Amino acid sequence: MQFKYKIAGGDFTNAGNASSAVKKILKQLNVDHTVSKHIVVALYEAEVNIVAHAYSGVIEVNIDKNQIHIILDDKGPGIADIDQAMEEGYSTASPQVREMGFGAGMGLANMKRNADKMLISSELGKGTKVELIHYLKPDEG
């Protein structure tokens, strides 16, 4: 199963709509509640990151019986130093993003904590790609 969502940079009114849709899908698929919560929390932080930092982005959610693989691909400024961006407390968020209750430098760390596997690649001036992988059967994953 595959689902795709388009995300507009700066559109805080709709930030979270994709994550909300995925949450409903996971509920319909009877995915374990704790696993589902980890997925949607990581996805929501990632979705907010696109809205906060990029010009536009696409979220692709691939679901099979063993794993949920989410790819967030954005067109934006990119991340200059991914290791630095991963440090808790480091943030380049605008005052507007902070007014929304984000921008404390916790997003990437929250995503990593909630995902079984997270991959980030970025090109300055072009954009960032984040992959979040959650195994549905952790013992076999």
Amino acid at site 98: R
> Is residue 44 within the footprint of another protein (CB under 8 A)?
yes
Assess contact for 62 and 136: CB atoms under 8 A: no
What's the half-sphere exposure (Cβ side, CA atoms, 13 Å) at 63?
Answer: 16
Which of 25, 71, 86, 106 touches another protein (CB under 8 A)? 106
> Is residue 10 within the footprint of another protein (CB under 8 A)?
no
Long-range Cβ contact pairs of 113-116 (< 8 A, separation 24 or more): 114/38, 114/39, 114/41, 114/42, 114/45, 115/38, 115/39, 115/42, 116/141
> Is residue 110 within the footprint of another protein (CB under 8 A)?
yes
Nearer CB in complex with another protein: 58/109: 109
> Is residue 3 within the footprint of another protein (CB under 8 A)?
no
Give residues in contact with another protein (CB under 8 A): 12-13, 15-16, 19-20, 23, 33, 37, 40-41, 44-45, 48, 99-102, 104, 106-107, 110, 113
